[in-house]
Amino acid sequence: MRSDTLTPDMTKACSSLNSLLAPLCALILLTLTHAQNQQPKPSADPFGAAPHASQAQQENFPPQLLDELAAIKTAALGDDYAYRQVAHLTENIGPRPSGSPQAKAAADYVAAELRKLGLEVQLEEVKVPHWVRGAETAELVEFSGQAAGTSQKVVLTALGGSTATPAEGIIADVVVVNNFDELKALGRDKVAGKIVLFNELFDKQKSAAGMAFMAYGEAVRYRGAGAKAAADLGAAASLVRSVGDSDFRLPHTGWSAPAGIPAGAVTAEDAELIAHLSREGRVRMHLTLTPQKLPDAVGYNVIGDLKGSEHPEQVVVVSGHLDSWDLGTGAIDDGAGVVVAMQAAEVLQKLHLRPRRTLRVIAWMDEETGGSGSQTYSKDHASEFPNHVAAIESDAGAAHPLGFDLKMTPEAADLLQPVAGVLQSLGATVLQSSAYPPGADIAAMSESGVPALGIMQDGRTYFHYHHTAADTLDKIVPGELRENAAAMAVMGYALACMKNPLPR
Ligand SMILES: [Zn+2]
């Protein structure tokens, strides 16, 4: 799914485009679909019918397994292991961009913690890009109504992979466009030598209504592909309006396809300022971005196995990504995903529950800047994919879980209804089929046929902080993180212990 125009983040966004549709509608649909699949025929009134497990569901989830799943849920909800782990990753280790000493320290730390849990751990070497942020400043040096001797500061940040301006910066006219069509209509004559600003709005109404990932998917294409489109018309630099819905004049970084020109993101407030002034006349900007692209570095996927008692060769992956952007400390994106996967193993060990199949915890490297971690895993483990029973990734924050996005056959999804039953007291009952792999790191597995699941979190505040300096530990609500750990542990153990592997 990756290309110059479809970034890892877009894959994630696409996968969750519909992930936060009104849960009630989804439940009604599930109820109806489920009711239609049942034998014998259900009551004509699905809202009045008592829940009834199909024969296949009962076979796969005998009473003892359901009891174990309930015990796992209770234990996970009373356990602060995940929170303590994410506190260490964010507060003690800090930001973990690919190629950084912190990314290496985090891989060593997670490996050691998984060994402490008794897992068989390997560090899988991954070649990662190494880009480091430099100076990043901008000011408007010419605009309508300007008082003599003044400039207007613009708050911005460089996008990952951006090239540098000279140390003293560049001064150029700014041209504002709302979309790619407007850029194309301007043509090379009006774009060459200028700083292009893509002023695509992030749809706050969608995100407030629980459709944040759709809003993200609509806006993020300009961050991913804008610089390349501007460079193709000879632009001197490219800026996007930050892809996020915060009102705190915070710039949001993120991945931008290599374009050979400096690429940055201004805050939503500064995009409004520049658009306002450019409607009144000429706007010139002094822009300084001095990031550096260093030689590729070595990073690590951390892989920890809790070996299966009956089918050790069959694997259920529970995962999140360990790398983060450099502005914050990578708490909600995606320290949270890594630690809820770790807690899934921790809870099973604490309860002395050995899964029938292997539960594999993976902390992925380099989700944010190209996905080399998942690419390496797909290459090294492709021959094992027929025995990868399922893969789960949590990469949509740490807020209350609503259920799971599923990329699998309808028959497989239907078999998981008893798990939703166990999670009902959490509210994590939505099992929503997705047209796209629900997680960038498990996309390759999903495309090769492995049933894939993503935890569906409440995303209403996720894009306030996503890829900003404010993605920090305080944004994680401990109780909500425990709910996510419970959802991951229950689903992971269910997949590892149900009678038959999920059908493909
Ligand atoms: Zn992420």
**What stretches of 281-371 show up as alpha helix (H) in DSSP?**
336-350
Q: What pLDDT sits at residue 47?
A: 72
Question: What are the residue ranges of helices labelled H in 62-192?
Answer: 63-77, 81-87, 101-116, 180-191
Is 42 in contact with 32 (CB distance < 8 Å)?
no
pLDDT, tens digit, 9 for 90 and up, residues 282-327: 999 999 999 999 999 999 999 999 999 999 999 999 999 999 999 9
260 CA distance to ligand 1 middle (Å):
25
Distance CA 394, CA 319 (A): 6
Q: Which of 68, 124, 136, 367 is catalytic?
A: 367
At 45 the pLDDT is: 64
What's phi and psi for 359, nearest 5 deg? -95, 120
DSSP E strand stretches across 437-479:
452-457
Q: What distance in angstroms lies between residue 310's CA and the mean position of ligand 1's atoms?
A: 34
Alpha-carbon distance values, 300 to 98, 107, 364, 503 (Å): 9, 6, 8, 31
Give residue 462 CA to ligand 1 midpoint distance, Å.
Answer: 11
Measured in angstroms, how far is the CA atom of residue 446 from the centroid of ligand 1?
18
Dist. CA 389–CA 494, nearest whole Å: 11
Distance from Cα 73 to the centre of ligand 1, integer Å? 25
pLDDT in tens, 27-51: 333 333 333 343 444 445 667 776 7
Tokens 């951006």 correspond to what residue?
Answer: 162
Residue matched to tokens 């749809």: 203
What separation in Å is there between the alpha carbon of 216 and the centre of ligand 1?
Answer: 13
pLDDT value for 494? 98
Closest among 411, 423, 455, 426 to 57, alpha carbons compared: 411
> Which residues are CB-contacts of 341 (< 8 A; sequence separation ≥ 6)?
318, 319, 320, 361, 362, 363, 392, 394, 488, 492
Q: How far is the CA of 202 from the centre of ligand 1 (A)?
A: 18
Note if 200 is an active site residue: no
d(CA 355, CA 313): 12
Q: Quote the ligand 1 centre to 395 CA distance (angstroms).
A: 5
Strand order in the sheet with 195-198: 152-154, 136-142, 284-289, 170-177, 195-198, 237-241, 263-266, 156-158
Q: Can you give the pTM of this predicted structure?
A: 0.91
3-state percent helix, strand, coil for the chain, nearest multiple of 5: 40, 20, 35
- Give average pLDDT by consecutive 10-residue segment, the chain, 504 residues: 39 39 33 38 60 92 98 98 98 98 98 98 98 98 98 98 98 98 98 98 95 95 97 98 95 97 98 98 98 98 98 98 98 98 98 98 98 98 98 98 98 98 97 96 98 97 98 98 98 98 96
Q: Which of 306, 373, 307 is nearest to 334 (CA)?
A: 373
In percent, how much of the chain has pLDDT > 70?
Answer: 90
